[in-house]
A and B are shown apart, each in its own frame.
Chain A
């Protein structure tokens, strides 16, 4: 089966850098997704990693280490609008469905 763990809450200051970690245990690995979810809204796709290393997309980067069962999302130049929950998810059953982590609620303070 799958098990995914993330810190529950994090706080950071506007303009700073924050790293949100995700550890996972899976019976087979088919990549890892990161989603952003603002309170009361739908999650939106941020990134997908299937190979080891860092993938950069503007202010957001995502890192994967398959041997360690570990990923992180790096947010640079934090803005107030980045206050949201960040969910990591892994595909299951050959991509038929997904298992989501509990999410990390990030608060960006002025």
Chain B
């Protein structure tokens, strides 16, 4: 079955440590995205990538970094510079070709990061 996987589901880290969140997709989608969601709020875009080896900052990129070395993978690193990293992180992917350029995004199950 095709889909998006994120691991782990729950992650705990001490303050001051960097942590990398995994996102893998086997949907053959070109575009991938990282969002942050805080309790009772909508999704805020951290980074996105339209093709391999290229990515752009979203609205809240400070304190985060990404890489896109493979089409299937788009890991997100939460650095110690991120002031309030505790949140629910969602990865998504989207087809960029086909009938419409405005195809829907498919989301992974999310990683809930808690920084102690």
Contacts and interface: CB of A to CB of B under 8 A. Distances in A.
B109 A41 contact: yes
A97 B48 contact: yes
A67 interface: no
Interface in A68-83: none
A101 B107 contact: no
Contacts of B88: 40
Contacts of B104: 33, 45, 48
B2 interface: no
B26 to A, nearest CB: 16
Given A42-B90, A42-B108, A42-B110, A95 B42 contact: no
Given A87-B43, A97-B56, A100-B44, 5 more contacts: A45-B104, A98-B45, A102-B42, A103-B42, A105-B40
B31 interface: yes
9 contacts: A42-B90, A43-B107, A48-B102, A89-B43, A94-B101, A99-B45, A102-B41, A102-B42, A103-B41
Interface of B: 31, 33, 35, 40-45, 48, 50, 56, 58, 88, 90, 96, 101-110, 112
A96 interface: yes
Nearest to B103: A95
Contacts, number: 58
A87 B90 contact: no
Contacts of A97: 33, 45, 48, 56, 58
Nearest to A4: B42
Nearest to B110: A42
Nearest to A6: B42
A50 interface: yes
Nearest to A42: B107
Find the residue from B31, B44, B45, B104 having the highest chain A CB count within 10 A.
B104
A100 B102 contact: no
B71 to A, nearest CB: 17
A30 interface: yes
A52 to B, nearest CB: 16
